[in-house]
Amino acid sequence: MAVIPATGEEHTHSFGNAWKSDGTLHWKECACGEKDDFEPHTPGEWIIDLAATAMADGSKHKECTVCGYTVVTEVIPATGAEHTHVFGSAWLKDASGHWHVCACGVKGSFAAHVLGDWIVDVAATTTTAGSKHKECTVCGFTTATEEIPATGERHIHSFGSAWLKNATGHWYECTCGEKGSFATHTPGNWIVDIAATATKAGSKHKECTVCAFTTVTEVIPASGENHTHSFG
């Protein structure tokens, strides 16, 4: 075991940003060996490494959402028969895009991220820089981050006419990051995206009547019976 010599002076720890981990925990570590931010792993969603087929097993694993450590691996059994994919409604995502996934591991509806407007995390002041980021409007993945320079002078806000929005509400925003006219969403009537049939479920959603943000989505159950159309 290597010895770390005494520094001979008062030492200020610098733990850095890199996580170290083992089978149960992750932490940050100073060059002197001192550890900080001990926490147990937080397993994320299953990540499919190899999709199962009718004849062959697949595999999947979960990673800690904080440090990326692989906390569990599991075999996906072969389906043993011709399989009809049923894709969940939750988006899985990474830097390349987002998708739905079937329980067998097959991905569906893969698409590249759709960049939204800038979201200001910390507004800039005359002397201090701020920060902002963009999220995919479909799955919420953070696609870009950027610094907002300090204004350097007394600033008059100009909020513009375009709504910015997230799940909480909508607002106008100045180029400096300051928000104005914030209000919660006003859901409208249901909009049918896919009509249900006797054997297949459909889907519908509501949008905010002010900014058009999708406030809720819902499955329309299959009717379970043959349907005779009656047009008014």
Residue-wise pLDDT for 140-176, tens only, equals: 899 889 888 887 777 778 888 888 888 889 989 887 7
CA distance 15 to 52: 42
CA–centroid distance for 2 within its chain: 42
Nearest to 26 by CA among 16, 36, 13, 15: 36
Predicted confidence at residue 167, as pLDDT, reads 87
Residue with tokens 């910015």: 164
Nearest to 179 by CA among 222, 136, 119: 119
Nearest to 204 by CA among 195, 101, 225, 86: 195
> Across residues 65-90, what is the average pLDDT?
84
Q: Could you tell me the pTM of the whole model?
A: 0.40
> Across residues 201-207, what is the average pLDDT?
91
| Residue ranges of domains in the chain | 86-155, 185-232
CA distance 127 to 146: 17
